[in-house]
Amino acid sequence: MTLDLIVWAPEAFVLLCLLVLLLYGSGTSVSPVIEGIYYLDTKNTVTIQPLSSAKEQLAPRWTEDSSNAISSNFLNMRLAGPLHISSHLNSWAITVCLLMALLVWYTPLQSLQAGGLFLRDLFVTEVLTFVWIFSIFCLLTSHSWQKSSGIIHLEYTYLVLFFLLGVHLLIMSADLISLYGSLELQSFSVVVLCSLNYGSAYLIEAAMKYFLLSAFSSSLLLLGIGLIYWQTGLTRLSTLQELLTCGGANTNSTNNDILTDSTTLLLLDTNTAELFRVAASSTAENFTAVLGFSTTALLLDISIWLGLWLIGLALLWKLALAPLHMWAADVYMGAWSSVTLLVSTLPKIAVLCFWAHYFGPLWSAAFGSAILFFSGMSLIIGGILPLAQSMFKRLLLFSSVGHMGLLLMPFALTSASYAFSALWAHLYFYVLTSLVVWALIQWPFNRPSTLGYSTFYRLSGPQYLWDLVSLNRTSPAALLAWAVLMLSLAGLPPAAGFLGKLFLFWASLSSDQYLLVLLALISTLLSSVYYLRVLVVSFVYNKGYWGSYAPFYSISAYIVVVGCTILVLSLWYLAPLVILSHLLALAS
């Protein structure tokens, strides 16, 4: 009991922190949004009024009278609460993420938890630590942005923590039931987060489209789980993997030789084990000996394969892979950039880790290299669709389809260890580049208004490619950061994204996947066109007037500088990353 309590401490800790933040930020006795000040009226009487009503009366009431000057210390004195409650709660969320990273790293390992629903081993521990640390930087990029944009939604912080808990549980999932619950926890949080951006014209479309398509994806997942459970009575992924592996590797064996693992037989009742013996056998005599006809065994195989196919489609939908990608750009367009950063990186890390750790062997045993179809389509779509985009969000999110196609390449290769080392290396560079890109997009931007060149619209960041016209004159440092990031996304030296693609291409060539490498090279060539167009617009185009970046937040500026430095230096000092990626591949 004590060991179970210690092992479950990280999950219990984040739930407790959520409860405390809910009581702290939105309790019945708390008014965090309305702040009061001491207000000095004309009769020198000090009263307490809400800041929203008192601030309009401060200017006419202020005089140089000495009696007022004595009491002026009371003026504008905050009674209680932070200046900006949303960013204040965001600071507490950053603290929770830091404590979770430390707690996950130092929590002792245990094989199975909650009756086998979750697993924590070395691979899971390393990935979870990276996810919580990455979440800290995601929240830091949005910390000051919330103040400048006037964000007062208290539920933003709560939903982000719920979302991170869903990602955490998905990485630990070792059962189909826990897989469904983790994905639903993420979907619930993302639907509400996408609907908070009231200033966007895409608000309703983003929220409704994600809600409806996520419900459809969940229906596919539940149908697949139901088909597998109907035929086997099992939902534990490790047991299903053993059954499919035994059935595929011993097609010429007798019934009694198919399932010899005593631990597997203990998990199955007599009838279910007999059905699996029949399904794994390839002879009609064995079918007749147990069931009397072969159609039942054929139905059993089809049901399991169909269930795995539906579960795979639901997971690929979360990755926004072609042809299941059409929802992503419209949904992310209506969300805040901070939400887009979270949703476009963390769920993909979680799904890829779950696929590599558990679902990949099941998919390979049932469908072989069918994943290459989705990888190839994603490479083509990710190279062509962004060519017609002029909005930053749509360009980046359509291009992410191509990156997901690259990240799927190792799952169909024969040299598993080297392939997964390439996978984790490229994934690391991709999420690091995405973090810095979205930090730059959240940089406040001044765009000239239609009233004249002397007046500007203050935006939360550049919205179109043409906002970066003559950036080399207005913000040379920002242009240098954009250059490093675009080269990294395109996979060109001297940025580290070149090494990620190089590792993947080398692993694919080692497994004789020449057609897939050709598609990846064509996709890289096409992606270089729209990535380098950002630099062309910034350097070459000059319309005589242009927008400019406003003063940058110090936290985000540090993230951009450090991130770009890592992307450049990693090309020359890569030994620690190579070793870490190799160890992570061995652990998976």
* Tens of pLDDT, residues 511-526: 888 888 899 999 999 9
Q: For 477-487, what is the mean pLDDT?
A: 89
Tokens at 30, concatenated? 């708390």
Give the pLDDT confidence score for residue 546 in this predicted structure.
63
pLDDT at residue 122 tops 80: yes
pLDDT category at 430 given cuts 50, 70, 90 is very high
In whole angstroms, what is the distance from residue 380 CA to residue 520 CA? 8
pLDDT at residue 527 tops 80: yes
Last residue of a domain, one of 74, 92, 122: 74
Give the pLDDT confidence score for residue 543 in this predicted structure.
64
pLDDT in tens, 53-64: 444 444 433 333
The answer as to whether 415 is a domain residue is: yes
Q: Which amino acid is at 248?
A: G
In whole angstroms, what is the distance from residue 194 CA to residue 159 CA? 11
Which of 38-47, 61-70, 250-259, 441-450 is predicted least confidently? 250-259
Q: For 349-377, what is the mean pLDDT?
A: 87
Asked if 365 contacts 241 with a C-beta cutoff of 8 angstroms, the reply is: yes
Mean pLDDT of the chain: 75
Q: Which residues pair with 40 in a beta bridge?
A: 46
pLDDT at residue 284 tops 80: no
pLDDT category at 225 given cuts 50, 70, 90 is very high
The answer as to whether 376 is a domain residue is: yes
Last residue of a domain, one of 49, 74, 99: 74
Alpha-carbon torsion 437, 438, 441, 442, what sign? negative
The answer as to whether 331 is a domain residue is: no
Which of 207-216, 255-264, 335-344, 515-524 is predicted least confidently? 255-264
DSSP-based three-state secondary structure for 138: helix
Give the pLDDT confidence score for residue 237 in this predicted structure.
85
pLDDT at residue 410 tops 60: yes
DSSP 496: T
Q: For 143-172, what is the mean pLDDT?
A: 83
Q: Which residue has the higher pLDDT, 96 or 456?
A: 96
DSSP 76: T
Number of domains composing the chain: 2
| pTM, 2 dp | 0.79
- Degrees (nearest 5) of the Cα angle 389, 348, 375? 70
The answer as to whether 2 is a domain residue is: no
Q: Where are the beta strands (DSSP E) in 211-367?
A: none
Domain span including residue 446: 369-588
Residue showing tokens 């062309």? 536
Which of 80-89, 234-243, 424-433, 525-534 is predicted least confidently? 80-89
Give the pLDDT confidence score for residue 220 in this predicted structure.
92
Give the pLDDT confidence score for residue 247 in this predicted structure.
52
The answer as to whether 355 is a domain residue is: no
Contact residues for 28 (Cβ-Cβ < 8 A; gap 6+):
none
Q: Which residues pair with 464 in a beta bridge?
A: 391
In whole angstroms, what is the distance from residue 141 CA to residue 264 CA? 48
The answer as to whether 532 is a domain residue is: yes
Give the pLDDT confidence score for residue 547 in this predicted structure.
66
In whole angstroms, what is the distance from residue 526 CA to residue 388 CA? 12
pLDDT category at 135 given cuts 50, 70, 90 is very high
Q: Which residues pair with 452 in a beta bridge?
A: 449
Asked if 85 contacts 33 with a C-beta cutoff of 8 angstroms, the reply is: yes
pLDDT in tens, 22-34: 777 765 545 444 4
pLDDT at residue 181 tops 50: yes
The answer as to whether 253 is a domain residue is: no
pLDDT at residue 180 tops 90: yes
pLDDT category at 183 given cuts 50, 70, 90 is very high
pLDDT in tens, 298-307: 445 788 889 9
Tokens at 474, concatenated? 């207005």
The answer as to whether 70 is a domain residue is: yes
Q: For 269-276, what is the mean pLDDT?
A: 42
pLDDT at residue 79 tops 70: no
Backbone angles phi, psi at 549, to 5 degrees: -75, 140
Asked if 295 contacts 282 with a C-beta cutoff of 8 angstroms, the reply is: no
Give the pLDDT confidence score for residue 146 in this predicted structure.
76
Q: Which residue has the higher pLDDT, 348 or 421?
A: 348
Give the pLDDT confidence score for residue 239 in this predicted structure.
84
Give the pLDDT confidence score for residue 348 in this predicted structure.
92
Give the pLDDT confidence score for residue 38 in this predicted structure.
46
If one counts every other C-beta atom within 10 angstroms of the C-beta of residue 115, the result is 10
